[in-house]
Amino acid sequence: MRAFGMYNYLHLDSWHQDNVYYVDQFGRVMNLSVTLDTALQKPREVFRLPTDLTAYDDRLCASMHFSSSTWLTLSDGTGRLYLIKSGKRGDSASEKWEIVFNEELGRPFIITHSVSFVKSDMHSVAVLLLRVEKDELDTKGSGFHITLEWITIAEISKEGDDRYEIFKRRVLQGKSVPHYAAIEPSGDGLMVVSYKPFKFVKDEDDKLEENDDAKATNEKKVVDPLYYWQQTEDDVTITVDIPQDITKDDIKVHFSPDNIRVTLKDQPPLMEGKLSSSVDHESCTWIIKDNKSLEITLVKKNEGPWWPELIVGDTRGEFIMDPAQRSEIAESLMHLTSEVMNPNPEKEKPPCNAQELEECDAFLEDSASLCRFDGITLKVTHVINLGSNQYLFSVVVDPREMPCFCLRHDVDALLWQPHSDQPENMWEHIATFNALGYVQASKQDKKFMACAPDYSYAALCECLRRVFIYRQPTPLSTVLYNRKEGRQVGQVAKQLVATLEASDPILGFQATRERLFVLTTKTLFLIKVNSGN
């Protein structure tokens, strides 16, 4: 449902603002361009998919992504990928869409993201494809797994003939549809926000050396976590399931100040590696619980600091956080929002506080994590546990950069810009939407969220008819007093509600600096939000 039922059918061309595209039921790619303030040109056909889509039963929605100002990727939903050179889009005189590559790539998919880049004088387009596939081996879970296929198509010269071919294919597998998945502008890495972890799987065409590292990184199937771990300020508890025939004498646990090694009988180490931080190794203990699990307790040498991972680089475990710790983390993050929310914290109280949260604020999922994968080693280089910082939406602020993602931080919503080329500041906080985290939680029927690329407003729409617009606080031209406290109010944030004159389902939603585009099954609505000056 999240992957395909909540799909946004309206595509904003971030390289040529005020141009939106959609693919209709006949396989025609239609363009709508804003000419005057709120005037739209008639829908204009810019391309037609060669496939007869009505002949396919097992088909997903057609999807597209603008890789650069002149390149885009397009899928017809049947499993075929098109790479298209578009010319300058938004200009009917020079917009000619030309297929330079098309290939059947197996099961149907939707395009999640794509980038165009030049490396070693070779033009490449990397594209990320999302599939939900049946998993016959998964008897305990949903019976499905999620596949992200990362494909690089490059311009290759053969006997004087330049043509585009698949240069590299890599596959990641997970158990939940990613909230966010994007390729870095250089094509060197991938960032994923998801509830369940993703791992690379070995591909038949992959020519990686068969060393131990490659085997560990490219496991054929995503398996259940090898171990679970929890932590407090003082200690870390690890739980590992063990076979029933294992006795106390078969288990060897070696502790050192910075390392741990666990072996069962004469097998290779079950767990081994450098710990995230130092421990008091002489105080560490282990016991067997209920003859079925091994419980290890590590005593932290430095009380307080939170470990981001248990064993450095080991992704085989799953971190479990209890509710009390979640609320502590939410409180500790309040300083990120309160300074922006209150220009003068001495004078004004925050618009909402944590005690005012209601039932609608309960998060549906425990916690998500943000991972960065390296495109060459196929290893995870960064992992951030997002805790209770619920993912809200993503938006393109600068098309040359990766899309931003918006997370809920207590009552507010914070926008983060990934910078793949800045290891010290890989995720930059670029905007705060006051109280948006709190307000959106009460909208039970919300379907899409977005914000203006200049952060002047955020917006969300429901499945039918209603659109909510939340403007950032602006200084008042008149004097306004708070009647309860008698103090003067300097700034005010406005909420606007627009009701569409149609009861057809909303299928697409996009925001630009000046206006909102809302696509229903029959109509494209244009809502003017900011003036163009």
Burial bucket for residue 394 (CB in 10 Å: 0-12, 13-18, 19+): buried
Grade residue 178 by pLDDT with cuts at 50, 70 and 90: very high
Give the pLDDT confidence of 219-232 residue by residue, as tens digits: 434 467 888 999 88
Query: Which residues on adjacent β-strands are paired with residue 126?
Result: 115, 152
Q: Which two tokens stand for residue 274?
A: 């450098």
Between CA 131 and CA 166 the distance in angstroms is: 19
Residue 211 has pLDDT above 80, yes or no: no
* 156/81: higher pLDDT: 81
* pLDDT value at residue 33: 86
Between CA 348 and CA 358 the distance in angstroms is: 22
Q: What is the DSSP letter of 497?
A: E
Between CA 462 and CA 391 the distance in angstroms is: 18
- Provide the terminal-to-terminal Cα distance of the chain, rounded to the nearest Å: 41
Mean pLDDT of 154-169: 86
User: Concatenated DSSP letters for 76-97?
Assistant: -SSSEEEEEE--STT-TTT---
CB 432 within 8 A of CB 484: no
Q: 383 and 406 share a domain? A: no
Residue 358 lies in a domain: no
Between CA 85 and CA 506 the distance in angstroms is: 30
Query: Which residues on adjacent β-strands are paired with residue 368?
Result: 387
Q: 197 and 305 share a domain? A: no
The boundaries of the domain holding residue 108 are: 1-203+365-387
Q: 413 and 476 share a domain? A: yes
Mean pLDDT of 60-81: 94
Mean pLDDT of 114-122: 91
Grade residue 245 by pLDDT with cuts at 50, 70 and 90: confident
CB 138 within 8 A of CB 145: yes
Residue 343 has pLDDT above 70, yes or no: no
Q: 168 and 291 share a domain? A: no
What SS3 class is residue 33?
Answer: strand
Give the pLDDT confidence of 16-59 residue by residue, as tens digits: 888 999 999 889 999 988 876 656 678 889 999 988 877 777 78
Residue 309 has pLDDT above 90, yes or no: no
Residue 384 has pLDDT above 60, yes or no: yes
User: Concatenated DSSP letters for 168-227?
Assistant: EEEEEEESS--SEEEE-TTSSEEEEEESS--EEE--TT------HHHHHHT-SS----SE
Q: Which two tokens stand for residue 497?
A: 């509600």
Between CA 145 and CA 134 the distance in angstroms is: 6
Residue 20 lies in a domain: yes
Q: 302 and 378 share a domain? A: no
Give the pLDDT confidence of 468-512 residue by residue, as tens digits: 999 987 666 666 666 677 676 556 667 889 999 888 999 999 999
Grade residue 77 by pLDDT with cuts at 50, 70 and 90: very high
Residue 120 has pLDDT above 50, yes or no: yes
Tokens 């060459």 found at: 376
Query: Which residues on adjacent β-strands are paired with residue 457?
Result: 471
Burial bucket for residue 334 (CB in 10 Å: 0-12, 13-18, 19+): middle
Q: 149 and 51 share a domain? A: yes
Specify the DSSP element, H or E, that contains 19. strand 19-23
Residue 217 lies in a domain: no
Between CA 65 and CA 21 the distance in angstroms is: 10
Report the range out of 31-35, 68-72, 134-138, 245-249 with the highest average pLDDT.
68-72
* pLDDT value at residue 103: 95
Residue 337 lies in a domain: no
Q: Which of 494, 495, 492, 525 is nearest to 511 (CA)?
A: 525
Between CA 51 and CA 517 the distance in angstroms is: 28
Q: 379 and 276 share a domain? A: no
Q: Which of 233, 231, 309 is nearest to 274 (CA)?
A: 309
**Amino acid, single-letter form, for residue 282:** E
- pTM, two decimals, is 0.69
CB 89 within 8 A of CB 32: no
* 75/304: higher pLDDT: 75
Between CA 315 and CA 196 the distance in angstroms is: 11
Angle among Cα 79, 84, 89 to the nearest 5 degrees reads 130
Asked which of 32-46, 128-142, 191-205 is least confident by mean pLDDT, the reply is: 32-46
**Overall domain count for the chain:** 3
Residue 235's CATH number: 2.60.40.790
* pLDDT value at residue 216: 42
* pLDDT value at residue 82: 97
Q: 38 and 107 share a domain? A: yes
Q: Which two tokens stand for residue 434?
A: 């006051």
Burial bucket for residue 22 (CB in 10 Å: 0-12, 13-18, 19+): buried
* pLDDT value at residue 171: 95
Query: What's the mean pLDDT when you consider all of the chain?
Result: 83
Residue 128 lies in a domain: yes
CB 416 within 8 A of CB 427: yes
Asked which of 64-73, 118-127, 169-178, 199-208 is least confident by mean pLDDT, the reply is: 199-208
Q: Which of 378, 373, 318 is nearest to 181 (CA)?
A: 373
Residue 371 lies in a domain: yes
Residue 333 lies in a domain: no
112: Cα within 13 Å, side-chain hemisphere: 27
Mean pLDDT of 65-82: 95
Q: Which of 410, 418, 404 is nearest to 390 (CA)?
A: 410
Give the pLDDT confidence of 433-478 residue by residue, as tens digits: 988 998 898 888 899 999 999 999 999 999 999 999 999 876 666 6
Q: 159 and 255 share a domain? A: no
In order of 324, 358, 449, 460, the CA distances from 444 in angstroms are: 26, 13, 13, 11
Residue 14 has pLDDT above 50, yes or no: yes
Burial bucket for residue 383 (CB in 10 Å: 0-12, 13-18, 19+): middle
CB 263 within 8 A of CB 252: yes
Q: 95 and 139 share a domain? A: yes
* pLDDT value at residue 333: 52
Burial bucket for residue 349 (CB in 10 Å: 0-12, 13-18, 19+): exposed
Residue 261 has pLDDT above 70, yes or no: yes
Q: 189 and 308 share a domain? A: no
Cβ within 8 Å of residue 459, ≥6 positions away: 449, 450, 451, 467, 468, 469, 470, 509, 511, 516, 529
Q: 160 and 283 share a domain? A: no
User: Concatenated DSSP letters for 307-318?
Assistant: PS-SBTT--SEE
* pLDDT value at residue 347: 41
Give the pLDDT confidence of 352-367 residue by residue, as tens digits: 444 444 444 444 445 7
**Amino acid, single-letter form, for residue 452:** A
Residue 447 lies in a domain: yes
